[in-house]
A and B are shown apart, each in its own frame.
Chain A
Amino acid sequence: MIRKLSFINKIYIIIAIIAMIILAVSMFTYSKFSNTLSILTETTKPDYESIRIQTVLNRLNKIDNNAKSYVITQSKDYLKNFKSNVKELKLKSKKIITDFSSNTNLLVLDTLINNKINVLNQLILTQDLKENTDGLSNIIREINSNNKSDKNKIWNKIFHSKNKVNKDEVERIVNNVKNNETLIKDTLITHEIKLLSEDKNISNKITDFISRFEIKEKEKLLNNASANSYAIESSRVILISSSILILIMLIILMIIIIRYVNSNKSYKLALQKEKEYAEKLARTKEQFLATMSHEIRTPMNAVTGFIEQIALGPLNEEQRSQIEIVQKSSEDLLYIINDILSLSKIESGKLKLEKTSFNITETIHDLKNSTTSLLRNKPVTLNVNIDTKNDIVIGDPYRIKQILLNLLGNAIKFTHKGSITLSLKELKPNIDKTNMLFKITDTGIGMTPEQLDKVFNTYEQGETKTERAYGGTGLGLSITKRLIDLHDGSLTVKSKKNEGTTIEILISYPISKKAEIPTEKQQPVNKKLLQDKTILIVDDEPFNRQLLEAILNKKNIHTLTATNGIEAIEQVNNYHIDLILMDNYMPQMNGTEASIKIRELKDDTKNNIPIIVISAAVENNDVSNYMSAGVNGFIAKPFKELDVLYKIEQVFEGKNSFEPKGKHKNEKPSNKIDFDNLKKLCNNDQDFYTDMLNTFIESTSESSLALKKKLARKDTESIAKIAHKMKATFGHLEAFGIMNNLSAIEKNCKIDKPIHIIKVLVDDTLDQVNETVNLAKQELNTVQDG
């Protein structure tokens, strides 16, 4: 299989090739240059052989000159020089032959030199002989020889007159001498000429030898130059071609890198685009879901609201049954919407579990009550078994209910006869934590192992036809699984086809220190409080306006209507209005903007009108926006009649409906500090928790003292301020009883209630405050001890 080379591998290969080329070229160039250098060194080295030959030849010339000069001048100096030079020349010649023994030609030169010396020696000898043939001397020598024979007859004959000289004899002797001399001279001259000719020959031979030698040397030089030139030329070719090759490789490398960078850049761009697209898609999905949820909730509000209104009226048995079906269907539809929203929130990581104290056994009982109706007309019994010691735990009651409701709903859906058992068992509790095992067992249709594998996948059901036979989106179990994961819980499912299913969920909960959880039960609305009030209903949806009108008119509340924010402001300016029920999403001007405009009105009787937002946009940030706009309360769509009436009642009573949960009028507020909540707020940081307890003890004691002092001075304004300041602290510690008392002190001071009433309130509150301070001190000691 041919695999495409990765970028890094390509780079490695090219770098390796370049390195190899550089290495080969370096080695080749080094060898070439070494060679050239050695040739050059050899060439530029002085030619000692040639120099020494030249020296010998110079010496030979000198000898030649000495000899010839002697022959001409007969000066003994020349002869002396001749002899010494000959001696030296012979030595040098011998030395050259020894030093350059490889050169056999030198023997020839030596022979020639010796020959020449011999010739010159002979020439000198000839010259000496010539000298000795001087006429007068010969004559004297002749006479002497005659005298010896004739007792000096010649001298006697010439110089002694007494002895008369024989003239003829002398002439004869002289002639003889002359003749002899001429003969000798001729002979010597002939010999000299011969010698000179020989010398010339030898000189010519030497000249030839030197010429040949020089030619040979020149050839040698030429050969070396040619070899050098070839070596340099070939090195140059190799260098140029290698440089070109390296250049090509570098260009390829550069192209690969540029291509890689470009492709990397384009990948990054593509990735960035994909990321942005995915984010946009996620935002769009979220926005779509929010919009869809809003758009479905809005008409559903009219559906459920009017059904509720119809159900409250006179109906016959059949109509009531039909209305109940419609009501149930509406609830189912809302349940699906909530499921979709939950899934979206889980997927986007926005779903966070609440941590609040709740009664887990009550949750189980509530579940039984709310699902019993689903078993109607089915031969199935629903049993509940609870085995717990710690009923009140800290967690998210809504989400555990959602988990169990999904599982229970499925069990009911797929069980046609037999029983369903919902059990809760507490396992291995310790001081702070407990493990709750929820178990749902049914005798339903069960599942095959293959179905089990994918039953918790999103949008999947046991089998495709299940959806057709039993309905459902397939979201419920997927959400359930993810919610269990969010709880760090575990889920196990055992199922057998046609035998039934058992699902076990194990979730760990911190144990709450609260003794009991007050239950929120709606009390009958105070009709008197609502009577003869005028409420402005602002909603662009006519069904919703009609529904609210129907609810309010039944309670003898006057209603005005507006279809958008602009109309609402006009109505506020034109009529006396006690309260505004304001939808948020409306054309032209939305509810938040309209609320801001109303609060900005100059007329104090208008800008103070309580406003309750009714909206299907129920996210936390939506609610924050409403609050920032200065509204007094919020009702989520779809709403029930009592939701609306209670909220209106709350606002008329002067309560901010955004107040904490403990402030609900039907809940008995606690005066005890919720240390668990404080720990939670401190992120379970022990040091910071200790700091906060100290701060609480110090600041509360200080405020209590200040409150006492101001009470003694009857300074109600300062009392109100101190009470106000203390409220937040007790609110965070969930001591809502004390917080409410402090609110009452503040309120009474502001409306100038008699000081004795305020005193009673302050004293009572300070007792409670002191009690909490003591509790805080005990908690502090406990924490510090251990």
Chain B
Amino acid sequence: MSKRINISVLDDNPFFNNLASFRINNFLEEYSQNNTLDYRIMSFLHPEDLYQNLGSGTNIILLDYYLGDSTTAIDVLKKISEKNKDCSIAIVTQKDDPKLSFITRSYGASAFIPKDDKTLERACYFIEKTITKRF
């Protein structure tokens, strides 16, 4: 039986959002050649859109910290914990404050990925690690 994994990307920056979804798709395409994996990637610019799709068995979320309109990843993490507790979340942000990783961790985030030239590589590594752990 093939493994099914649903990945969501929430970032209000459409450029990064597109890029991240594309890169993750490429990574999973390659990964699924060696591992039986059925995957779906959904990308959202607004938290509300993510909330509407949380019930559909989302396994991994890449979550930007600042989401515009004073919404932060912490607000989203609270909502996610209400709707889907079985989800691995990585916070992806430009924010340099090291404390942020601990704050978000206490709200259910399992990784903290700073936005730099290695972000997408690290995001893929996080996804691979999560898939390995889950299956």
Contact = CB atoms under 8 A, between A and B. Distances in A.
Contact of B66 (A696, A724, A729): A724
A761 interface: no
A26 interface: no
B105 to A, nearest CB: 8
A628 interface: yes
Contacts of A734: 117
Nearest to A595: B98
10 contacts: A607-B99, A607-B102, A624-B113, A658-B114, A681-B23, A692-B18, A724-B66, A729-B13, A729-B15, A731-B117
B111 to A, nearest CB: 5
A728 B94 contact: yes
Interface string B97-125: 01111100000000111111110111001
A41 interface: no
Given A620-B125, A727-B115, A696 B15 contact: yes
Contacts of A661: 117
B14 A695 contact: yes
A699 B99 contact: no
Among A630, A695, A728, chain B packs the most CB atoms within 10 A around the CB of A728
Given A681-B120, A725-B68, A695 B15 contact: yes
Interface string A718-744: 000100111111011010000000000
A175 B111 CA distance: 165
A698 interface: yes
Given A628-B112, A656-B96, 15 more contacts: A608-B98, A610-B98, A621-B125, A624-B113, A624-B122, A630-B102, A659-B116, A681-B19, A682-B22, A683-B26, A692-B18, A695-B18, A699-B13, A699-B14, A731-B94
A607 B102 CA distance: 10
A608 B15 contact: no
A118 B16 CA distance: 136
B46 to A, nearest CB: 14
A596 interface: yes
Contacts of B100: 630
Contacts of A727: 94, 115
A596 B102 contact: yes
A627 B114 contact: yes
Among B99, B111, B117, B126, chain A packs the most CB atoms within 10 A around the CB of B117
B112 A627 contact: yes
Contact of A631 (B94, B95, B98, B111): B98
Nearest to B102: A599
B125 to A, nearest CB: 6
B34 to A, nearest CB: 11
Nearest to A600: B102
Contacts of B125: 620-621, 624
A656 B114 contact: yes
Interface string B58-86: 00000000101000000000000000000
Given A683-B26, A725-B66, A629 B101 contact: yes
B13 A728 contact: yes
B16 A732 contact: yes
Contacts of A600: 102
Contact of B15 (A621, A630, A699): A699
A599 B115 contact: no
Contacts of A260: none
A705 to B, nearest CB: 15
